[in-house]
Amino acid sequence: MESHERMIPLLSSNAETIIKTRYLKKDHTGQATESPADMFRRVAVAIAQVEKKFYVETDIPTLANRFYSLMANLEFLPNSPTLMNAGRELGQLSACFVLPVGDSMDEIFDAVKNTALIHKSGGGTGFSFSNLRPHNDVVQSTAGISSGPISFMRVFDIATETVKQGGTRRGANMGLLRVDHPDILDFIKCKADQTQLNNFNISVGLTDTFMIALEQNESYPLINPRNKEITGTLKAREVFDLIVKQAWENGDPGIIFIDRINRFNPTPHIGSIESTNPCGEQPLLPYESCNLGSINLGLMVKDGQVDWQRLKEVVHPAVHFLDNVIELNRYPLPQIAAMTKGNRKIGLGVMGWADMLIALKIPYNSEQALELGEKVMAFINNEGHKASSFLANERGAFPNFKGSLFAQRQMPAIRNATVTTIAPTGTISIIANTSSGIEPLYAVSFVRTVLDDQAMIEVHPLFERIAKERGFYSAGLMERIAEHGTIQGIQEIPADLRSLFVTAHDITPEDHIRMQAAFQKNTDNAVSKTVNLPKTATIEEVRKVYELAYKMDCKGVTIYRDGSRDRQVLSTTKKPETDTSQDNFVRVRPTILNGRTFKEQTGCGTIYITINDDQNGPFELFTTMGKAGGCAASQSEAIGRMVSLAWRSGVQPVQVIKQLLDISCHSPSGFGENKILSCADAVAKAIKSHMSSNGHTVPETVVTKPLIKGACRICGGRITYEMRCPLCRSCGHSECP
């Protein structure tokens, strides 16, 4: 091909930014040494080279061009590790892994080590901690007692935080505990404190026994995994109520119907499925990995109809591509290579579903959309299985085929134990400039912050085109929409468009679940779908979502109530019982206060930080910026005023430290333990020193900033959550694989 660039569609500015930041090869100075077209070519050639393993004579350049065309035209994109690493030295191409966690120190810390290796290579990990004996259980080798699964989860969390995957992809984990584990109540509440286990999503594995007990309002048994003995019982309704309440609080835990998942386990003779990948859509056996890819449904529309022929033409080479990835992949552990190649699971999914519906003029929350979703996924699943069977005829069935469900049912040989998965597609959907997975639109219009901190209004391209065609487009209207993200209630927008361009918060929770169920009917693995709820949603509404997911045969469900992870837990002194007014809580300043002044060197100059105490502890904070003036001095003064107000209003010093510590600016100062990242960081360190001088210890949990915030740590844009995975649609930054 003479010019690769000519095949590249016009990438959005977001796509260009995220590709340059995360995907392209760079030299030792950090400068990109390839273009997006070069990246797609690098990946296509590397994946096509696999053909040499199966055929003596094959037209590899033609196949490479075919793979290249799929990606360059944004019709199909593989998961991020494949785009990043195919054709490069690292060569780790899988997005997700599941590792076993055995009930011994050796097995636990082997799993910690293996987790670090996987995160270093760019993957996410899922674990079941259900095999660990409960806390206070006997440890015969030491005559001691066990600390239980949650204490070991913290070890995995710290290891993940330490690795941070070189800054390219942050480590992400799924922690699962069966509902019949004796420590289940503590597990359900383990993320109530949002400073804890921030590198984990957690899910409860709900069993058939539990669900029957729930429906009949009965108790169910708790089973010690060490000896399989019943240790007690719990009321199923009370446990379910606690799960619902905690999910309402901050989105964790999700739920996974673990027995239902195992009924669809294609290789039960190899082992039971214990956990999933970090976002929950890929159930995997211990030591198994999966590589994912997604078809852009927004491009599968022609003349107002679904282009079934083009969709078929994309499905077949996409399955071929993903099967080749299994061969090319450099697995981080030999056990993972063996298990993955034994089952050869792939996960072909979709993105751009909301865009397809808009192009077809079908409202997302309509019966027609549900019927089409089921039909589209049935088509992809059927064609995907045909493509996998074709590969099996040429290359052989997956090695563990004998004894599998396929063999038991006397079905034709197939190359891949699973073929389809609906993944979140957070980052690759930004590259493709399309809606994520099967989610509704994130927003019709939103504010994007570019690198020079200039705010720009971005509008959904189809809405912008229609608005101009119908004559109601204006910059002012787009700004109004961007304030809320939705067009509902704006009367100058025609009613048919208000029903067509619905966003995640415009539809009911039932609409979310029904769409998930429609796609799950024809998906081998599971479906990534977040049920977005408004901040005003009740606990009862969350309960109905979870119950409906079970009734509609979903394999799991995740909810996110808007703003529930933006709120920080504040420790305040107790007010008198008769006091119902926050105003009565503010501390009054005495005439004389004693304190200390700290000197710190920042990148903007020397800062002097004075902290004064009253009888209750730190009361006020002042800052002075040496000879520096302007913005640095004014912002430091503002920090001092806000900290003083917080303290007088009852906020504890440790909470102020947690908010300010490790905030970084363009001009840090110092090295190692003495490094000051910003003026805010200097203030936090001074408060910490002041507390230490007064004999107070700052808890270690405060030292590490929580990952989950209400705003993007890169551009400050609004964070949305897909399967509990923080994603910024403004700049494309993601905190998960």
Nearest to 439 by CA among 525, 538, 507: 507
Point out which residues pair with 203 in neighbouring strands. 176, 254
The pLDDT, as a whole number, for residue 447 is 76
Residue that finishes a domain, picked among 426, 452, 471: 426
The pLDDT, as a whole number, for residue 120 is 84
Residue with tokens 């909301």: 354
Mean pLDDT across the stretch 696-715? 52
Dmax over CA atoms of the chain, in Å, equals: 90
600 and 690 both lie in a single domain: yes
Beta strands in 319-365 (DSSP E): 346-351
Q: How many Å apart are CA 203 and CA 252, to the nearest integer?
A: 7
Reported confidence tier of residue 484, pLDDT bands at 50, 70, 90? confident
299 and 416 both lie in a single domain: yes
The pLDDT, as a whole number, for residue 487 is 93
Residue 534's identity, in one-letter code, is P
The pLDDT, as a whole number, for residue 171 is 64
Rounded to 5°, the CA angle 210-212-215 comes to 110
Nearest to 609 by CA among 592, 593, 626: 626
466 and 354 both lie in a single domain: no
Q: How many Å apart are CA 293 and CA 73, to the nearest integer?
A: 15
Q: How many Å apart are CA 501 and CA 419, to the nearest integer?
A: 31
Tens of pLDDT along 347-356? Answer: 999 999 999 9
Residue 235 covered by a domain:
no
Reported confidence tier of residue 731, pLDDT bands at 50, 70, 90? low
Residue numbers of the domain that contains 43: 5-91+293-426
Q: 691 with 702: CB under 8 angstroms?
A: no
Residue that finishes a domain, picked among 362, 396, 426: 426
Residue with tokens 């927003």: 443
Dihedral in degrees, nearest 10, Cα atoms 69, 73, 75, 76: 60
CB atoms within 10 A of CB 573: 11
Q: 247 with 253: CB under 8 angstroms?
A: yes
Residue 273 covered by a domain:
no
608 and 682 both lie in a single domain: yes
CB atoms within 10 A of CB 75: 23
Q: 126 with 278: CB under 8 angstroms?
A: yes
Q: How many Å apart are CA 405 and CA 104, to the nearest integer?
A: 33
412 and 477 both lie in a single domain: no
Residue 404 covered by a domain:
yes
The pLDDT, as a whole number, for residue 449 is 58
Tell me how long the chain is.
737
Residue 616 covered by a domain:
yes
Task: Tell me the C-alpha to C-alpha distance, in Å, between residue 274 and each of 103, 152, 416, 587.
Answer: 14, 17, 20, 53
Assign 284 to helix, strand or coil. Answer: strand
Reported confidence tier of residue 724, pLDDT bands at 50, 70, 90? low
Dihedral in degrees, nearest 10, Cα atoms 579, 583, 586, 591: -110
Q: Which two tokens stand for residue 584?
A: 């009565």
Rounded to 5°, the CA angle 476-477-478 comes to 90
Nearest to 425 by CA among 493, 347, 499: 347
Burial 543-560 (b: 16+ CB within 10 A, else e): bebbbbbbebebbbbbbb
Taking the chain, what is the end-to-end CA distance rounded to the nearest angstrom?
A: 32
Nearest to 543 by CA among 569, 561, 527: 561
604 and 650 both lie in a single domain: yes
User: In this prediction, what percent of the chain has a pLDDT beyond 90?
Assistant: 61
Reported confidence tier of residue 138, pLDDT bands at 50, 70, 90? confident
Task: Tell me the C-alpha to C-alpha distance, in Å, between residue 430 and each of 11, 14, 457.
Answer: 10, 7, 16
Q: How many Å apart are CA 310 and CA 163, to the nearest integer?
A: 42
User: In this prediction, what percent of the chain has a pLDDT beyond 70?
Assistant: 87
Residue with tokens 């020079």: 452
Residue 724 covered by a domain:
no
Mean pLDDT across the stretch 218-230? 97
Q: Output the average pLDDT for the chain.
A: 87
Tens of pLDDT along 564-615? Answer: 865 332 222 233 333 333 344 467 777 778 888 998 888 788 898 999 988 7
- Please name the residues in contact with 644: beta carbons below 8 A apart, sequence gap of 6 or more: 619, 620, 621, 622
Tens of pLDDT along 93-116? Answer: 998 899 999 999 999 999 999 999
The dihedrals phi and psi of 722, each to the nearest 5 degrees, come to -120, 115
696 and 589 both lie in a single domain: yes
Q: Per mean pLDDT, which range of 320-324, 332-336, 475-479, 570-574 is the poorest?
A: 570-574
Helix 13-22 to helix 36-48 angle, to the nearest 10 degrees? 60
Point out which residues pair with 126 in neighbouring strands. 98, 174
* Alpha helices per DSSP H over 487-588: 495-500, 509-520, 539-551
Reported confidence tier of residue 691, pLDDT bands at 50, 70, 90? confident
The more confident residue out of 322 and 142 is 322
Which residues are identified as catalytic?
277, 279, 281
Q: How many Å apart are CA 731 and CA 724, to the nearest integer?
A: 18
344 and 398 both lie in a single domain: yes
Q: What is the DSSP letter of 472?
A: -
Assign 402 to helix, strand or coil. Answer: coil
Classify the C-alpha dihedral 648-654-655-660 as positive or negative.
positive
Assign 363 to helix, strand or coil. Answer: coil
408 and 454 both lie in a single domain: no
Residue by residue, DSSP assigns 118-154 as HHHTT-EEEEE-TTSPPTT-EETTTTEE---HHHHHH
The pLDDT, as a whole number, for residue 328 is 97
Residue that finishes a domain, picked among 502, 524, 553: 502
CB atoms within 10 A of CB 408: 12
Domain total of the chain = 3
Q: How many Å apart are CA 178 and CA 591, to the nearest integer?
A: 58
Enclosing H/E stretch for 455:
strand 455-459
Q: How many Å apart are CA 427 and CA 733, to the nearest integer?
A: 8
Residue 398 covered by a domain:
yes
Residue 455 covered by a domain:
yes
Q: Model pTM?
A: 0.79
309 and 412 both lie in a single domain: yes
The pLDDT, as a whole number, for residue 177 is 98
The more confident residue out of 697 and 557 is 557
* Alpha helices per DSSP H over 192-270: 208-215, 236-250, 258-263
Tens of pLDDT along 272-330? Answer: 999 999 999 999 999 999 899 999 999 999 999 999 999 999 999 999 999 999 999 99
418 and 484 both lie in a single domain: no
Assign 530 to helix, strand or coil. Answer: strand
416 and 448 both lie in a single domain: no
The pLDDT, as a whole number, for residue 446 is 80
Residue 304 covered by a domain:
yes
Enclosing H/E stretch for 597:
strand 594-602
Reported confidence tier of residue 452, pLDDT bands at 50, 70, 90? very low
Tens of pLDDT along 380-402? Answer: 999 999 999 999 999 999 999 99
Point out which residues pair with 55 in neighbouring strands. none
Q: What is the DSSP letter of 338?
A: H
Q: What is the DSSP letter of 699?
A: P
Residue by residue, DSSP assigns 205-223 as EE-HHHHHHHHTT-EEEEE
pLDDT at 142 over 80: no
